[in-house]
Structure 1
Amino acid sequence: MEIIGTDSDPTEALDGVRLALLAGGEAMNVQQFAIDPGASVPAHSHPHEQAGYLVEGTLTFVLDDEERELGPGDSYVIPGGESHGAENRGDETVRGIDVFNPPRENPDWAE
């Protein structure tokens, strides 16, 4: 068993968007994220299935033809290959957890 502590340093993937690996294995990984007010993740897709949980703040997911607003305690699943983006339109930092299968370490939207 490999144990990775939650003290891993966050990476600023985009201006106002930070990611930190919490645990990673061969079939999946768990990341925490923080998205500052006014920050966003552009529309993108990836082959990884993504499941997540919001701990604080309100996050607007922008899908192909709709928007969904999620708050603390909400969870979501995004199938691999589905286009999605996210925006923090609120006034507090959004914090949450994402699980990716297979593991996703370096998002292409961060390059």
Structure 2
Amino acid sequence: MERVSFDDAETYEPDEGWRRVALAGDDDVSLEWFEKPPGHSSPMHDHENGQVCLVLDGELTIHTETERERLTRYDSVWLDPWESHRVENEGDETAVGLDIFVPGRSFDFWTDRDE
């Protein structure tokens, strides 16, 4: 067993106010807590990982090439590997969520990403 303290976990901020915290995980699966400020959207992107996005507080809108889903507290969505998507906070409050990636990944996805 490997405990990860939230306060000591690796943290990354891809954009101002969009904070991600790496929690428990390994090569098979990883868990990232995040907060997304009002009006913020990640860029449209895809990755080799399947992804579950779970809203813990606030609202998030998940956009794919063909769909748009608005999620509220405790709603979740599954994104297939290589499915293009972006996550947007269209609300007035900071949204908080968890992303689960299968297989696991590190922050290298964002830090080494070509725009």
RMSD of aligned C-alpha atoms?
1.5
SS at match of 1:41: coil
Alignment of 1:82-93 (within 5 A): 82-93=83-94
- One-letter amino acid of the structure 2 residue matched with residue 17 of structure 1: W
The two structures have a TM-score, normalised by structure 2, of 0.88
Among all aligned residue pairs of Structure 1 and Structure 2, give the percentage whose two residues are the same amino acid. Answer: 35
Paired position in structure 2 for 1:42: 43
**Aligned residues between the structures:** 111
1:3-22 deviation per Cα after TM superposition (whole angstroms, max 9, x unaligned): 11122253211233110011
**Corresponding residue number in structure 1 for 2:29:** 28
Task: Give 1:6's aligned residue.
Answer: 6
More strand by share: 1
Give the gaps of 5 or more residues in structure 2: none
Partner of 1:68: 69
> Which structure 1 segments of 5+ residues have no match?
none
Distance in 2, Cα, partners of 1:9 & 1:84: 24
1:42-90 deviation line (CA, Å, top 9, x unaligned): 1100000111211111111111022111010101111101000011110
TM-score, with length taken from structure 1:
0.90
